[in-house]
């Protein structure tokens, strides 16, 4: 297809995604992957192995998991080990029981902010660290620290600058240079403005207050600085900030009314003598109430770094201090749209913040393993510093903390000229040659930012000591010989500081006025100043009725008297929380992945061990604690492709499949591509079914797209008609530009299963109107009605011939959270792309690289679903029996719900053909409708609230999903 024929092409997708750069997984890393493939294929190279030094991926580099952490997770995954296996110490079992008793296990979808018991443990950890009280309600758990960085920056995003900023200016985010590229990538993605302040290389990458002032003053008039990012210990620079420097930064932030984003994920990684980690929260309190009660701060921590290095589990927290209360509630609304963070990541984080105590049996071993990891890192930090400083033309500041060296390199003018002639950065050319000639993969300093005229690279110190020595020798051998090729002319040394730019007095006056107004309110972020798209976001499944249900549960626990003894939650498709049992085979494989020592146990069958072995061999360092490739572990993508091929009878290419932390992440990534920032008649429109899953309307609001609702036909069992699609499309034209069509099959919340001929009609309509199809097929295993059958959009496309199958653009979504497995807490999903413009697909994959990777345990649970036991394997019979039991029970309950609702006067419910929900209509008297409107409520919301308050049953009003005017419904999980 010609580029202009694609619905999504480089000229029509979100322009900010086009500009994202993420050096840690950039072109040099892609080149390294190609070289690795060639080595694997036996193609001769000047080296026998490729040494990866580009990323802080601890386990992939050979670091061993901490036994206590993995043992606890293994018991949570397979609770039968708690009672039957004497291999595990008592404190391991106690930690596992505590998490299971207070959260129900990794299979559950947790509360949107994380499991309360784990938030409490994080608060205790912070309090012990700082000697300052910490409220667990201020702690938000996340799928890695990167998720919260992006969520916080998105709150600041100004999608409509003329309407939301002073004098039409973008909001600015002050970031250190050099910086971690996730910040610059996310700032670009959300259309914010980077404000660079330079770290002082001559003073061991310290942070100078005068440099902050210079950067701030020069930014005024070009943008409105709102956020100050500080990374401590530093990435990529390895410095550990002194207490007095941090306090100076806090004073500056208060003076300029800046929100501090403190990236403290390396707080356990401090090696230099005399250096000590000092948190920003502690600094706030040391400076007194004037600071501790007013300065807004977000502090980030991660399970991926420190001595744990559990990158693949994707666990992190953010402590949020002094936020505007209204803003905090709106941020929580945005977070609700992600579902919940990985529960496996939450669990691994919990064991990090709540390690063994001195009187517990695992303490000695845990301390020994921890000391070994940190001691090795200290030794390697010294080795890297000393070696680089011994090579002529290199200089490296001491690696005081974190996991990286960031040496400067002197390059001759001829090399610099040649690099520029090739359209390359000089240090990129250097790093490319190092890779091609020595097989060492590092990242050029230009990917992190550096002072003009200086050149660097970042190298992780994580490889084992013997491997790191080998790397150092490669550098010693390579550097001078490479430089000498270009001439013996004078080397280019560090450049001078940037020149001062003209002050913009008018804008400064306006900005100072704004600052005074903000200081009067005491907050940087307020309801008036935040991203307006987030204000519009609604997510009914975790909305006000659900919040009230949570409050009622707390009241019941505290002994309050209610007309009921428990709250029955029927609001969300959280299978295991509702009593569904995990599938044994899935959990056994995941238990072995968590604790590979179980490979030696007679407890598990051979096919369980074979699946675990295959997945581990596909993971970096043979560990699920390693980051995967951005799109997922290759062998798991291959298994997804085989599953699709077996399902549809059509070949599937693993390169067109990307793995995600739940299907929701994939849906949002595709929708974000559509967001061009245009308004009015050119604003991109997304056609969504009504009723619909609120993720779609919430994400459409979040990305400033336009919802184009089309109604499902309730009188025809929630069917979909082409006539209704045409009506919706025609009415939208002139108000927006429809570009995508969402279809949910089987339906959520409506439970219908679309017939093949209806899917064909939808495809014809989409082709006629040149619409990109988003096929939400996460309930494909949940089909119960006699005669009903699931047909994938890809399968139907293929059956319609090449005019459709080779041209129609489609994204199909699948999840581990639904079906017979119901593993909501693991956060595993995939998206298959069909006929996407290759250049757009490259942009999408680049965007995904900035989140590093999806939850590896989620990828693993998905793999076992895609690759279940075969008939000749020992686990087959039990797996099939359990699967049939789950689906049989759901079929029975679907029939029961339909029959019961239809037996109640004033209710009518279509048959639940598939998915997991009934969506009955309810007849409400005019007086109730009038009273609800007088109270500013939807009538069905008033009905559902009364049901909750009087009977303790939590369902979701139909108004949260959308419905035809004058009709009322609710959604109940079966």
The CATH number of the structural domain formed by 15-61+369-484 is 3.90.1150.10
Q: Is residue 733 classed as helix, strand or coil in its secondary structure?
A: strand
Task: Determine the CATH number of domain 145-302.
Answer: 3.40.640.10
Q: What is the 3-state secondary structure (H, E, C) of 603-630?
A: CCCHHHHHHHHHHHHHCHHHCCCCCCCC
Q: Residue 545 has which token pair?
A: 């009725």
Pairing of strands 772-776, 737-744: parallel
- For residue 930, give both structure tokens: 């009038």
Calpha distance 533→429 (Å, rounded) = 42
> Are 264 and 425 a contacting pair, CB within 8 Å?
no
pLDDT at 887: 87
Tens-digit pLDDT profile for residues 752-791: 999 999 999 999 999 999 999 999 999 999 898 888 999 9
- At residue 301, the 3 state secondary structure works out as strand
The dihedral over CA atoms of 88, 126, 524, 236, expressed in degrees to the nearest 10, equals -70
**pLDDT tens by residue, 348-368:** 999 999 999 999 999 999 999
> How confident is the model at residue 361, as a pLDDT?
95
Residue 138 has which token pair?
A: 């201020």
pLDDT of residue 842: 83
636 phi/psi in degrees, rounded to 5: -75, -40
Task: Write the CA distances from 146 to 61, 153, 194, 351, 439, integer angstroms.
Answer: 21, 11, 18, 20, 29
Backbone angles phi, psi at 343, to 5 degrees: -75, -30
pLDDT band at 134 (very low <50, low <70, confident <90, very high): very high
Asked whether residue 512 carries a pLDDT value surpassing 60, the answer given is no
**pLDDT of 79:** 87
For residue 302, how many other CB atoms are within 10 A of its CB?
27
Q: What is the pLDDT of residues 819-841, one digit of tens each?
A: 787 777 778 899 999 998 888 88
State yes or no: pLDDT of 167 exceeds 70. Answer: no
Strands 394-395 and 408-409: antiparallel
- Whether the model clears a pTM of 0.85, i.e. scores above it, the answer is no
CA distance 536 to 699: 10
pLDDT confidence band for 111 (50 / 70 / 90): confident
Q: Which residues neighbour 73 within 8 Å (Cβ) at sequence distance 6 or greater?
A: 106, 313, 344, 347, 348, 351, 594, 595
> Which residues, other chains included, contact 778 with Cβ-Cβ below 8 Å and sequence gap of 6+?
663, 813, 814, 815, 817, 818, 819, 829
* Neighbour tally for 420: CB within 10 Å: 12
Domain residues of the chain, as ranges? Answer: 15-61+369-484, 145-302, 536-578+879-973, 612-876
Instruction: Choose the CATH number for 612-876 among 3.40.50.1220, 3.40.640.10, 1.10.3720.10, 3.40.50.300.
Output: 3.40.640.10
Contact 593, 624 (CB under 8 A): yes
More reliable by pLDDT, 502 or 914? 914
Judged by DSSP in three states, 708 sits in strand
Distance CA 91, CA 88 (A): 8
Span 457-511, pLDDT tens digits: 999 999 998 889 888 988 888 988 888 888 554 444 433 333 333 333 433 443 4
Summarize pLDDT for 74-97 with one digit per residue, the tens.
Answer: 898 888 888 876 789 999 999 999
| pLDDT (0 to 100) of residue 575 | 65
Is-contact 412 491, C-beta < 8 A?
yes
Q: Do domains 15-61+369-484 and 536-578+879-973 have the same CATH topology?
A: yes
For 22, list phi and psi in degrees, rounded to 5. Answer: -140, 90
pLDDT at 620 over 90: no
**Per-residue pLDDT tens digits for 390-403:** 999 999 999 999 99
More confident residue, 333 or 444: 444
- C-alpha–C-alpha distance, residues 757 and 166, integer Å: 54
Both tokens of 567, joined, read 């709250």
If one compares 605 and 27, the residue with the highest pLDDT of the two is 605
Flag whether pLDDT at 255 surpasses 90: yes
CATH of domain 536-578+879-973: 3.90.1150.10
Q: Which residues make Cβ contacts (< 8 Å) with residue 951, sequence separation at least 6?
A: 563, 564
Distance, CA of 693 to CA of 686 (rounded, Å): 14
Is residue 679 predicted with pLDDT exceeding 60?
yes
Q: Alpha-carbon distance 389 to 387, whole Å?
A: 5
Q: Mean pLDDT over residues 374-387, rounded?
A: 93
Q: Give the 3-state DSSP-derived string for 722-771, with helices as H, strands as E and coil as C.
A: HHHHHHHHHHHECCEEEEEEEEECCCCCCCCCCCHHHHHHHHHHHHHHCC
């Amino acid at each position: 297809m010609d580029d202009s024929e694609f619905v999504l092409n480089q000229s029509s997708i979100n322009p900010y995604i086009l500009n994202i750069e993420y050096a840690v997984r950039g072109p040099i890393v892609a080149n390294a992957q190609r070289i690795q493939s060639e080595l694997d294929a036996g193609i001769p190279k000047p080296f026998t192995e490729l040494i990866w030094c580009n990323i802080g991926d601890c386990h992939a580099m050979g670091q061993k998991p901490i036994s206590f952490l993995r043992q606890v997770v293994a018991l949570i995954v397979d609770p039968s080990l708690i009672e039957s296996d004497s291999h595990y110490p008592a404190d391991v079992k106690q930690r596992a029981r505590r998490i299971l008793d207070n959260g129900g296990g990794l299979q559950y979808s947790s509360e949107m902010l994380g499991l309360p018991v784990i938030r409490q443990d994080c608060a205790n950890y912070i309090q012990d660290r700082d000697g300052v009280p910490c409220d667990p309600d201020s702690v938000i758990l996340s799928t890695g620290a990167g998720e919260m960085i992006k969520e916080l920056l998105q709150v600041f995003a100004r999608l409509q600058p003329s309407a939301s900023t002073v004098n039409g200016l973008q909001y600015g985010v002050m970031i250190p240079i050099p910086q971690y590229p996730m910040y610059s990538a996310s700032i670009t993605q959300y259309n914010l403005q980077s404000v660079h302040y330079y770290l002082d290389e001559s003073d061991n990458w310290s942070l100078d207050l005068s440099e902050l002032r210079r950067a701030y003053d020069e930014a005024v008039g070009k943008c409105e600085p709102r956020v100050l990012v500080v990374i401590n210990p530093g990435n990529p620079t390895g410095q550990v900030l002194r207490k007095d420097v941090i306090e100076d930064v806090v004073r500056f932030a208060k003076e300029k009314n800046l929100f501090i984003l403190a990236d403290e994920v390396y707080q356990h990684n401090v090696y230099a003598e005399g250096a000590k980690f000092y948190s920003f929260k502690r600094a706030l309190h040391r400076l007194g109430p004037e600071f501790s009660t007013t300065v807004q701060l977000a502090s980030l921590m991660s399970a991926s770094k420190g001595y744990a290095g559990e990158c693949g589990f994707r666990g992190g927290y953010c402590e949020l201090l002094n936020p505007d209360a209204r803003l905090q509630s709106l941020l929580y609304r945005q977070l609700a749209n992600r579902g919940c963070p990985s529960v496996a990541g939450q669990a691994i984080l919990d064991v990090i913040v709540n390690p063994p105590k001195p009187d517990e049996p695992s303490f000695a071993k845990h301390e020994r393993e921890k000391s070994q990891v940190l001691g090795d890192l200290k030794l390697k930090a010294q080795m890297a510093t000393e070696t680089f400083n011994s090579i002529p033309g290199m200089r490296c500041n001491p690696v005081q903390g974190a996991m990286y060296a960031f040496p400067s390199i002197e390059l001759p003018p001829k090399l610099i000229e040649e690099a520029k002639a090739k359209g390359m950065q000089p240090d990129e050319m250097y790093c490319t040659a190092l890779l091609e000639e020595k097989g060492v993969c590092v990242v050029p300093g230009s990917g992190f930012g550096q002072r003009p005229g200086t050149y660097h690279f970042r190298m992780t110190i994580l490889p084992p000591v013997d491997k790191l020595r080998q790397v150092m020798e490669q550098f010693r051998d390579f550097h001078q010989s490479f430089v000498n090729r270009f001439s013996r002319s004078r080397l280019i040394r560090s450049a001078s500081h940037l020149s001062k730019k003209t002050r913009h007095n008018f804008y400064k006056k306006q900005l100072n006025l704004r600052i005074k107004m903000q200081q009067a309110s005491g907050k940087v972020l307020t309801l008036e100043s935040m991203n307006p798209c987030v204000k519009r976001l609604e997510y009914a499944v975790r909305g006000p009725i659900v919040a009230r249900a949570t409050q009622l549960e707390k009241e019941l626990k505290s002994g309050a008297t209610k007309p009921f003894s428990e709250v029955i939650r029927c609001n969300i498709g959280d299978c295991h929380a509702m009593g569904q049992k995990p599938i044994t085979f899935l959990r056994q494989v995941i238990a072995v992945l968590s604790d590979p020592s179980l490979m030696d146990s007679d407890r598990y069958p051979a096919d369980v061990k074979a699946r675990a072995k295959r997945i581990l061999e596909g993971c970096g360092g043979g560990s699920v604690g390693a980051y995967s490739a951005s799109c997922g572990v290759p062998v798991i993508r291959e298994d997804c492709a085989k599953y699709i091929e077996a399902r549809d009878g059509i070949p599937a290419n693993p390169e067109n499949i990307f793995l995600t932390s739940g299907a929701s992440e994939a849906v949002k990534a595709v929708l974000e591509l559509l967001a061009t920032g245009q308004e009015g008649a050119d604003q991109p429109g997304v056609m969504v079914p009504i009723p619909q899953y609120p993720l779609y309307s919430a994400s459409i609001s979040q990305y400033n797209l336009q919802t184009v609702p089309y109604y499902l036909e309730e009188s025809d069992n929630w069917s979909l008609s082409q006539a209704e699609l045409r009506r919706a499309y025609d009415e939208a034209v002139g108000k927006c530009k429809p570009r995508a069509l969402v279809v949910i099959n089987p339906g959520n919340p409506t439970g219908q299963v679309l017939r093949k001929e209806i899917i064909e009609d939808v495809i014809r309509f989409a082709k006629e109107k040149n619409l990109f199809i988003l096929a939400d097929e996460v309930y494909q295993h949940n089909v119960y009605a006699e005669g009903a059958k699931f047909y994938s959009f890809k399968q139907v496309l293929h059956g319609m011939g090449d005019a459709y199958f080779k041209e129609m653009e489609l994204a199909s979504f699948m999840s581990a959270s639904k079906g017979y497995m119901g593993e909501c807490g693991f956060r595993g999903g995939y998206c298959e792309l069909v006929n996407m413009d290759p250049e757009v697909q490259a942009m999408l994959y680049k965007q995904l690289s900035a989140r590093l990777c999806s939850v590896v345990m989620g990828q693993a649970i998905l793999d076992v679903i895609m690759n279940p036991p075969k008939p000749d394997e020992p686990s087959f019979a039990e797996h099939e029996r359990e699967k049939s039991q789950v689906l049989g029970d759901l079929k029975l309950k679907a029939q029961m719900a339909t029959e019961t609702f239809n037996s109640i006067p004033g209710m009518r419910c279509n048959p639940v053909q598939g998915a997991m929900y009934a969506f009955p209509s309810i007849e409400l008297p005019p007086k109730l409708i009038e009273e609800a409107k007088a109270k500013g409520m939807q009538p069905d919301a008033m009905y559902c609230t009364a049901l909750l308050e009087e009977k303790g049953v939590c369902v979701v009003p139909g108004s949260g999903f959308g419905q035809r005017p004058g009709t009322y419904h609710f959604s109940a999980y079966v």
